[in-house]
Chains A and B, each alone.
Chain A
Amino acid sequence: MARDQGALKLDNPWPRIGWASLAGLIVISAVLGFVVLSRYQQNDQALDIWGAICRGLGITADRGPAAEPKPPLRTPTQIAWTSSTLDQIAAGNAQRGAFIALNCAACHGESGVSSSSLIPTLAGMDAAAMFKQLDDYRSGKRLWGVMGAMAKALSVR
């Protein structure tokens, strides 16, 4: 033991033990994780060794345990806050928007402050909130006769 004077020289026992254990550990865990587990976790007969490794790396999406028919998606809205949605809103034409908004003033008040408890105030709402509500009316996710008709007349832009 006292001979062991170089911490990194491979002819000393501790560095040899250390590196050998490391190599063994990585090989065993990689085989278990990327071959055995990836192949048998879902017991997919069609998966060959490369397919299993790709699945272990997360490159190929999991097909899931069963191919049941998917029920139609029931979500409260069709809007997802992805970056493209936000970019689209940011690219909106404010002048055109102001023109269209003249239609709203009849019910929601001239400066967007509503006087009725049935009709919400629009003043202070940001573009994203307006976009989502109008889209929900347009796609029928939110039901209110007047607004549904108003929104259906509008385009996404």
Chain B
Amino acid sequence: MQNSSRLALYHYWVAFAVFLPAVVLGAWQMLMRSPLPAPLDDPNAYYTSVTLHGTAMAYVVTTFFAMGFGYAVTATSLGRPVRGMTAAWIGFVICLIGTLMAVVIVLSGRATVLYTFYPPLLGSAWYYFGTLLLVGGSMIWVALMIYNMAAWKRDNPNQPVPLPMFAITATALLWAWTASGVILELLGVILPRALGLTTQIDAGLARTLFSVTLHAIVYFWLMPAYIAFYTLVPQAAGGRLYSDTMGRLTFIMFLVFSLPVGMHHLFADPEHGSGFKFLQSFFTFFVALPTLLTVFSICASLEIAGRVRGGRGLLGWIPALPWKEPMVLAVALSLVMLGFGGFGGLINMSYAMNSMIHNTSWVTAHFHLIFGGAVVIMYFAIAYEMWPRITGKPLRSKALARWQLWLWFWGMMITAIPWHITGLMGEPRRVAIFDYSDPFVARMGPLAIISVIGGLILLVSAILLIVILVRSQLGERQLSTPLRYALAVNPPKHVPASLNGFALWNAILLVLMVAAYGYPIGQFLILKSSVPAYEVTRQITGAGVR
């Protein structure tokens, strides 16, 4: 058990060590886009920074956090050490090497392709190799999660798999399906060109393959937060989980519906017909189902907890909740941001409405609210919950942790809401320089400045997070209670085989993926859509051209 804990802790440390500098970059990027003077006023530096910020946040922080969380959940929910520790450490080292490779190459200015690395932009092959190592290394984690669940089922026939383990295995499967797109893109399209084996690059095929990854990856980020919603929040609030079956259904639906939807990122792409764009847009609506189910389920669980603690009347249970617990506070703040972000997302994914905000900063604001807000604030709460159990050193101050969560919440709201509005005004995303003397752009100036203030608040909150974790790590060891997961109101005794494993759902997902992506990817065998690549392996140096 001790070894599993250390494994989880190392993963968490890498995730949060990368997190802080990435927040610094993010805050500087907001400043760079605003009318205010920014240090190092260079558009090239801006694009390098976007690449680094995106790669760090989207791939490194999330993958390491999810892997660490997975190992911790496996050990604690099954009540036995993780099997395959050697493989797990090898996976950790591979991911770390991949991360370092990618970061060094981006910093040297030879891979400023933004984190979505859309061809015909082409960076150094080493950057892609680094990303491939990071994603490939995490497949060891995927195999270990599946192996640990299967081994437990073999040792405990006819027993329901504990919900946390079931959910983390769903996460691992989701990640394997998701990552297949980017792995195929790297191996099949980008690396052959980057290594000089081909002379051209098929931008349409690359974008389509990346779209397999691009949306479902968000659900991979989201899953640890949802696992905490179902298994940690009711426990922290002093109640029980409303329904175990609802939890299982939620994670199954995320697995099935988050994948065949990525083409809603390609509404403006000419290489696909309107039929498949609509089909995947239509499927996307179903992703709202598990989220709505979760919001209902969590509110019901919190109500149970509030009433157990003596809350009376229609809404009396709300003030009766233990708001001093970081986990309970985080879930409330998270759901608020999920609501705003989800609303924006509905507009992004609607075939017709998308054209109003396509490629504007509305999109960036949307995923910052969902991921940077609703998800990351749960990562913080999970860290505050798990750190003391792993290290045996309790949090020095829960008040400081609450301050950190509130600052993050307000920081993200102040950053993202004006950002949505500038997006509606037509501000493009991923652009370094705006001419604020132009009357059309000048209207966005004050809003951009408000976003900068939000970015600075986020930076303060991120620093506070590291201070809290380091202070706890350096504190005195005390005997702490082991991590316990919430019991359901009716704990499951027998679960249908379909809700205790993933065979059926993987088969259904396979059919759905073939229906949604078979033709759109297959058409590239006939379609000649290769174009010359635009290499960005050499950075043009020089001052800004404002």
Contact = CB atoms under 8 A, between A and B. Distances in A.
Given A1-B494, A8-B504, A58-B274, 16 more contacts: A4-B496, A18-B505, A18-B508, A26-B515, A33-B276, A33-B278, A33-B279, A37-B274, A55-B273, A56-B275, A57-B519, A58-B276, A59-B273, A83-B199, A83-B200, A83-B530
Contact of A58 (B273, B286, B531): B273
B532 interface: yes
A19 B283 CA distance: 16
B279 A30 contact: yes
Q: Give the 6 A-B CB pairs with smallest separation, nearest first.
A: A56-B275, A58-B273, A14-B498, A4-B496, A33-B278, A2-B494
Majority-rule SS of B interface residues: helix
Contacts of B498: 4, 7, 12, 14-15, 18
Given A14-B504, A18-B505, A7 B275 contact: no
Interface in A117-135: none
A88 to B, nearest CB: 13
B540 interface: no
A146 interface: no
A33 B280 CA distance: 9
A6 B501 CA distance: 10
B509 to A, nearest CB: 9
A41 B279 CA distance: 14
Contacts of B496: 1-2, 4-5, 12-14
B508 A58 contact: no
Given A5-B497, A7-B497, A8-B507, A81 B532 contact: yes
B274 A55 contact: yes
A29 interface: yes
B325 interface: no
A83 B531 contact: yes
A59 B501 CA distance: 40
Contacts of B531: 82-83
Residue in B494, B496, B519 whose Cβ sees the most chain A Cβ within 10 Å: B496
B511 interface: yes
B276 A7 contact: no
Contacts of A18: 498, 504-505, 508
Given A55-B273, A56-B276, A57-B275, A32 B282 contact: yes
Contacts of B274: 33, 37-38, 41, 55-56, 58
A55 B278 CA distance: 12
Nearest to B504: A7
Interface in B427-448: none
Nearest to A57: B273
Contacts, number: 96
Interface string B481-523: 0000000000000101111110111011001100100010001
B271 interface: yes
B183 to A, nearest CB: 26
Nearest to B493: A2
B497 A6 contact: yes
Residue in B279, B283, B499, B500 whose Cβ sees the most chain A Cβ within 10 Å: B279
A53 B494 CA distance: 47
B283 A29 contact: yes
Given A37-B274, A55-B273, A7 B501 contact: yes
B219 to A, nearest CB: 18
A30 B282 CA distance: 10
Nearest to B286: A25
Given A26-B515, A37-B278, A12 B497 contact: yes
Contacts of B523: 57-58
Contacts of B471: none
A83 B199 CA distance: 9
21 contacts: A7-B497, A8-B507, A14-B504, A18-B498, A18-B508, A19-B508, A25-B286, A26-B512, A26-B515, A29-B278, A30-B275, A33-B274, A37-B278, A38-B274, A55-B275, A56-B274, A56-B275, A57-B276, A58-B272, A83-B200, A83-B531
Given A1-B494, A1-B496, A8 B273 contact: no
A126 B497 CA distance: 66
Contacts of B283: 25, 29
A19 B256 CA distance: 12
A34 B275 contact: yes
A33 B275 contact: yes
B204 to A, nearest CB: 11
A116 to B, nearest CB: 24
Interface in B266-292: 271-279, 282-283, 286
A23 B199 CA distance: 42
Interface string A91-120: 000000000000000000000000000000
A131 B523 CA distance: 34
Given A7-B498, A14-B496, A14-B498, A29 B282 contact: yes
A34 B276 CA distance: 8
B275 A37 contact: yes
A143 to B, nearest CB: 26
A152 to B, nearest CB: 28
B271 A58 contact: yes
A125 to B, nearest CB: 16
Nearest to B500: A7
Contacts of B273: 38, 55-59
A29 B279 contact: yes
A149 interface: no
A149 to B, nearest CB: 32
Nearest to B352: A41
A126 B134 CA distance: 38
A25 B272 CA distance: 21
A53 B505 CA distance: 29
Nearest to B528: A83
Nearest to A9: B497
